[in-house]
Structure 1
């Protein structure tokens, strides 16, 4: 075996180029290919399987029985070859038969071979075949051998496509066409409704030449493309029309960091050394990145990898001169963009007058593109599976991210219903907007406090837009989630100060960082990011912060310095026992004393509270209430902990009602005990943002809600139409001998008493 992956791959590619350039029949070429690879790698077996009519067919082999060619077929996911293709993964096995997916095919005569290595042949991000080698002696293949196989497989994809060996029925480019109306669902990333024509982003280009004739010339092409790409990114980030100071700026800074990453450039250079053209080298590194992404369970780390995918697409387009995205071609009408995923810079290239919405096959709330789309005000729906198989370019689409739905080729009746809902939504928003200056006072004179939840600097504008009483929950972890490295204290301080400045005389409650568990960060130690069986109940929030004392000290100082001269409200999440609050409080006090000793200006007052999410804390309220300035009930986590039910589980999501006696009695008990101690109680979470559920909370004695900005108008309207004392009297009776759920009783009562629940 040659000593380096580059030398091995270059030798094979040179010989393959000569074979595929010949005028021999396709089958003869493949027979020569397996011999070239086998000889170069000193392999006893080299086999090529190609996807035909949904099955992986043995097309050529060196070392297996020739009678098996065009006879042995494996389904996707069947045997080692089928597993490689189905998962688009590499297998490297010292003993093939020991693998759980091993399937013996006697016609191949492979029983005398023990070791096995196989790599997918990928076209347009899907496997269209498998390249495999085998040896009789049990051994794992060296990294350089696997690297050479992967490089050769990438080139073979283009070679077999040019030779017409990719079955049209298996080609991932092909997709069924339909004129029938359809409706699919997804995951709401950015709220809103939109109508427009389907436009595919199409960032990928066709690579015509994969084998380099002059590696130095290819290297210079890549250097020039890097310079042009970096100039584009610098210019784009400076021209983004968002105003000053938002999380989108940090997103673009992180994106620029990837663009200037020397490690990425080095890997592309190494691929060129193996004999690839500039385009093929970038694609080779991109394929490796995609395969890594499939192995990564952490969604946040996957989101960061998508930035690199975006940059790779951009670099390939520059080096090839094929600027063929929909953004570069221009949108000719109101459009809804469809993509597997997007980078933040790619979204910024679109005409914001024409771009009405975005549909992603992937996507997440913390992805960089989501943060930028929110800043742009573009509705976005994510996790819409197989959308490219259902939609044709130009199809009429109706996007309703509030309903988490997409209507494809709508009928006239569907269009009319959509337009009617959009009109009602616009009118309702207009009516709610008129309540912006109105106070949330019940019909019987009780003044409620309605605040908003936030996590981005831009979210603070919702106070003015909705007329909310302040920010009842500012999630400080968002800054940590969008950063490529741990945010320095100065950056944190700048964010918190900007939020307080924007809020003016309205209060802001900062929740200390809630990371860890299902919000793992790529820059934490590897063992601290290890997969947890129950991440929501794992090493997260205050538990992590107390263990990572330096992290919390930095945040404490940042908050104290940002709050200089004003009232600072600090809330600790996921407190299970009073001693955790005591430790967190002591840490803040140490930092406050440190600043005071150095003559730094301090907040006029620091008010401390906890978020009650863990039911255990309710059993020690008598111990912790005397130390608290306020208490917030986090209904999202509380519900799943109280019922031992994962709220993300599809079979359990609707099973446990927020209006069940268990939740309502629990909240009433906490409210009663805290009220007797003189500690104000707020409810944070989705429960408080739903008019019927919020009405029930008011009936329990809750007077403070912190909700999503979009819900403020409807909650204010409900409050102003409610006789709270009358409802409280009914609630006491209902909860004494409750039914399975109070939802029907509350609904009927609201209708009978004219409570506005729209």
Structure 2
């Protein structure tokens, strides 16, 4: 077979070499036939039984999640449980069987096709992701109805390398992905998806190479083909020559040695060669992640995403966590960091993180009732969370971070509620730090352009680059059709970042970056050269970023940074960035 190369969207880092295992979806072009009137209720029962079995499977997968599983997986599986319980999926096909006498498979596919067509008309990140989820849930039901064999790969003993399997699929559901935990696999390749698809998020969490949004890879790649994933370049090489295979194996070994070497930097402070210290923090989702942050050498937690406490509540009918439950979680994270600061972001739900998939029905949730907007419409829910965070501050340094702020009244109302929470706790003789710093996430262009109203009233700023880029460039970062327009080096983004760090510096207010740009080693020198002294990222990325800082001399970097900020030509910006990255290539 002749070798060929496919290009997609890189969503994680590293190199994977292995055999292709094609994960075939249940065919949506199922058998169509009409059932007799006397058989209608039997057909209804058949579909109901299949739905019940899938529900049981999902609950079992959720219950069996290992402690080291990516925290996002529980939330994804919860969404599939909710979809399965939604009348549009669980009841509407039954009505089709009764009214049209369709067989169960035909009725289910008919309903899913109707839902998919509706979602296709609304170009929105959240709704499009729900379309993929609904199709994945339907495929699980169809596998039960048709008796399809489980298609999870198993090592077939072709040779000693056959255990290194690369999963190739149209898309991979989170439930299917969990079934891979007992199977050796090296990477993921999918036709669909963008930077924030399930496959992308989980592959980053697991540190496994992956390329998504490849179009028709699952049709071009054949079972057991040798594959190389170069996830840094977003490239998949199919049937590589022996020479190319050997070259990539050498690169793989080199990368493994580099990772081992980076681990030795854990206790080394992140100080540039000209003596400037940069604080490296970790992003966490759950209290137990604090241990990983410490192990990676984090100086604290720059972002505790508290919404996962609200979302991962399978079997609890999404009852909101009590103040006591939240307090125990926040306190565990604070104690786990052993005196290092923990920044807790208040509830950020809406858009792609609903508390309930049936809760809101708006055209564009990403621009709707989410984050602080949602919390201010639910003051009791917000007050309960603020009380829990304040109580946790009695056990170590805590900061409160408010997401998606853009208006002065949002700052005032938030500060009033924090003051109210403090008064209530004082009246109840409950301990807390009266001077807990309060900060805002800068992720809306309006906030970046109106910083004076933030720096006068708040203690610190944290930039969420993922949303800032999405909102500034008016593109959906999860849509593979426009993913190429998501550009963290767009002149508008760089100018906004420069404005923020300069304004914060003049106001003598701390500013950090907790979005994806903070964990991109290509941008480390640029960001530190612009003046950022706090970066927060997934714990696994800390060692590589630290090494880049240790090998940086900021005075040498400055001319390159100034040239980049003066330029509006993408080619010039990227060439200058590449030249800057060549500075000081000595290993620390």
Q: Give TM-score scaled by structure 1 length.
A: 0.63
| SS of residue matched to 1:297 | coil
Match of 2:18 in 1: 196
In 1: Cα distance, 2:517 partner to 2:205 partner: 26
Question: What pairs with 1:239-388 in structure 2 (closer than 5 Å)?
Answer: 239-243=64-68, 246-259=71-84, 264-273=89-98, 274-320=100-146, 322-327=147-152, 333=162, 334-350=164-180, 352-363=182-193, 378-388=208-218
In 1: Cα distance, 2:580 partner to 2:217 partner: 43
| Alignment equivalent of 2:499, drawn from 642, 666, 672 | 666
In 2: Cα distance, 1:624 partner to 1:412 partner: 58
Asked which structure has the greater RCO (Cα within 8 Å, sep 6+), the reply is: 2
Q: Is the 8 A contact 1:613 1:635 kept in 2?
A: yes
Are residues 639 and 367 of structure 1, via their aligned partners in 2, closer, same or farther at CA, if it must alter by over 3 Å? closer
Q: Alignment RMSD, CA only?
A: 4.3
| SS of residue matched to 1:606 | coil
Question: What pairs with 1:106-505 in structure 2 (closer than 5 Å)?
Answer: 179-188=2-11, 191-204=13-26, 207=30, 210-213=33-36, 214-243=39-68, 246-259=71-84, 264-273=89-98, 274-320=100-146, 322-327=147-152, 333=162, 334-350=164-180, 352-363=182-193, 378-455=208-285, 459-477=289-307, 488-490=320-322, 496-505=330-339
Q: Does residue 531 in structure 1 map to residue 356 in structure 2?
A: no
Are residues 222 and 668 of structure 1, via their aligned partners in 2, closer, same or farther at CA, if it must alter by over 3 Å? closer
For residues 700-758 of structure 1, what are the alpha-carbon distances to aligned partners after superposition, in whole Å with 9 as ceiling and x for unaligned?
Answer: 5543222343442233223323445x458x56996899677787778767756x35599
For residues 387-413 of structure 1, what are the alpha-carbon distances to aligned partners after superposition, in whole Å with 9 as ceiling and x for unaligned?
Answer: 233222222222233333322222334
1:667, distance to aligned residue in structure 2 (A): 5.0
1:638, distance to aligned residue in structure 2 (A): 5.6
In 1: Cα distance, 2:273 partner to 2:9 partner: 40
Q: Is the 8 A contact 1:633 1:683 kept in 2?
A: yes
Are residues 402 and 231 of structure 1, via their aligned partners in 2, closer, same or farther at CA, if it must alter by over 3 Å? same
Are residues 606 and 756 of structure 1, via their aligned partners in 2, closer, same or farther at CA, if it must alter by over 3 Å? farther
Q: Is the 8 A contact 1:658 1:687 kept in 2?
A: no
Q: Give TM-score scaled by structure 2 length.
A: 0.79
Q: Higher mean Cα deviation, 310-319 or 687-696? A: 687-696
Are residues 704 and 488 of structure 1, via their aligned partners in 2, closer, same or farther at CA, if it must alter by over 3 Å? same
In 2: Cα distance, 1:612 partner to 1:433 partner: 32
Q: Is the 8 A contact 2:188 2:199 kept in 1?
A: no
Match of 1:588 in 2: 418
Are residues 644 and 745 of structure 1, via their aligned partners in 2, closer, same or farther at CA, if it must alter by over 3 Å? closer
5+ residue gaps in structure 2? none
Are residues 722 and 302 of structure 1, via their aligned partners in 2, closer, same or farther at CA, if it must alter by over 3 Å? closer
Question: What pairs with 1:1-80 in structure 2 (closer than 5 Å)?
Answer: none
Question: What pairs with 1:544-693 in structure 2 (closer than 5 Å)?
Answer: 544-547=374-377, 549=379, 552-576=382-406, 578-603=408-433, 605-613=435-443, 624-625=454-455, 627-635=457-465, 650=484, 653=487, 656-657=490-491, 662=495, 666-667=499-500, 669-675=502-508, 679-691=509-521, 693=523
Are residues 331 and 381 of structure 1, via their aligned partners in 2, closer, same or farther at CA, if it must alter by over 3 Å? farther
Question: What pairs with 1:726-737 in structure 2 (closer than 5 Å)?
Answer: 726-727=555-556
Are residues 622 and 383 of structure 1, via their aligned partners in 2, closer, same or farther at CA, if it must alter by over 3 Å? closer
For residues 241-281 of structure 1, what are the alpha-carbon distances to aligned partners after superposition, in whole Å with 9 as ceiling and x for unaligned?
Answer: 33599443344444344455566443343233232334444
Are residues 556 and 366 of structure 1, via their aligned partners in 2, closer, same or farther at CA, if it must alter by over 3 Å? farther
Are residues 600 and 210 of structure 1, via their aligned partners in 2, closer, same or farther at CA, if it must alter by over 3 Å? farther
In 1: Cα distance, 2:197 partner to 2:561 partner: 47
1:439, distance to aligned residue in structure 2 (A): 1.4
For residues 78-102 of structure 1, what are the alpha-carbon distances to aligned partners after superposition, in whole Å with 9 as ceiling and x for unaligned?
Answer: xxxxxxxxxxxxxxxxxxxxxxxxx
Total equivalences in the alignment: 566
In 2: Cα distance, 1:246 partner to 1:748 partner: 38
